[in-house]
Every structure is written in C-alpha cells, then in structure tokens.
Amino acid sequence: MKKMLLILALSVFGFANAQKGTILVGGNIGYTSDTYDYQSNKVKATSFDFSPKAGYQFHDNWTVGAEFKVSSSKQEGDLNKTKSNSFKAGAFVRYTVPLSETFSVFGDLGAGFQNRRNKAYENDPLISDAKADGIYVGLTPALFINMKKGFGLNFSIGGLGYETLSYDNNGVDVKSFYFNFGKTVNIGISKNF
C-alpha cells in the first residue's frame, strides 16, 4: 500500500525540473475593487494588472527573458474621477535552485522602461492630464511548486526595487525605493516547454 501511495504521489507531483534549452512562459494577473462610503460621498476604486513574461533557460539554473506589465486603475466619486494607466517593458534574469522534484526557489532580477499616464476629471471635464517616463529595477525571491509536466505555481511575498518617473511639462520627478517583504503576496503560473 505504501508503494502504491508513493507511486501515485510521484505520478501526480513528479516532474522533470526545467532543463537547459527549455522555454519558460508565465505571468500574473490581478484585479481589485474597493468601495468607500463617506457621509456625503461614495467612492469606488478598481485596478487591474497583467504581467506576462517569457524566457529561455540557457543553463539548468539560469533563465533570461523579457517581461511586460500593463496596469489600469480608476477611482470614481460623486464629482471627481481619476484614471491611471501604466506600462512596463524590460528584461529579467532568473536563478533557480531545485529543492526537490516538486519545489524550487528562485530569484528574478528585472529592469526596464516604464511609462504612466494620469487623468483627473471634475464634474466630467478633464482638469489634468500628466504623462511620465522612467526606469525600474526589482529583485523578487519566490517559491515554485511543480504541479505536472512543466506546469507550476509561483509564490512570492514581496521584493526589493527602485523606480523613477519624470513627468512632462516640468512636472514632478518621482524616485521610489521599496522593500516590501511580507507586505504583499503574489501567486502566478508558469510553464516550461
């Protein structure tokens, strides 16, 4: 009976770890919706983001590739409305350490270009339209759980990063450093071909 359970467990969770010469495809998708009820105003905030990535595993532990992120958010009240759209495009390098056939840990180091556009409305007319460009760099450690045949789940609980945004028309210049381990949780999927 023990042998049967072991064979069943290996067939369900067993998987050849990603090997040199394979293609990695993965990403995250997210959506949030919040409603704030003030005494005189009700505000609804929504956000959506999609961040795919694809890479080539040139070594048993190393992968390089391209990453993208598209996000959109909107906050709408009785009289005011704000919209924000952003886009990131860059490259990443990943170092993976297999712990077993089922579990691996990895670190992603990504860097690239980003832009953002913020619009503000008051009683429907547009009162502000700001555009910004900048760069980003980030390090994200994560856990990979191999489900079956190269398909798996990625779990991360934060990261470390630096971003800049420079707004047009003598607008503000933003420089951000973040260290948010334990503050955020991301779950993504990936597949090695």
Q: Rounded CA gap, 18 and 148, in Å?
A: 12
**For the chain, where are the alpha helices, taking DSSP H only?**
2-13
Cβ atoms of 120 and 145 closer than 8 Å: no
Identity of the residue numbered 96 = T
* C-alpha distance across the termini of the chain, in Å: 34
134-149 burial, b if ≥16 CB within 10 A, otherwise e? bebebebebebebeee
Q: Strand 126-148 and strand 80-98: pairing?
A: unpaired
| Model confidence pLDDT, tens digit, residues 159-171 | 999 999 999 987 7
| Model confidence pLDDT, tens digit, residues 45-102 | 999 999 999 999 998 899 999 999 999 999 998 888 999 999 999 999 999 999 998 9
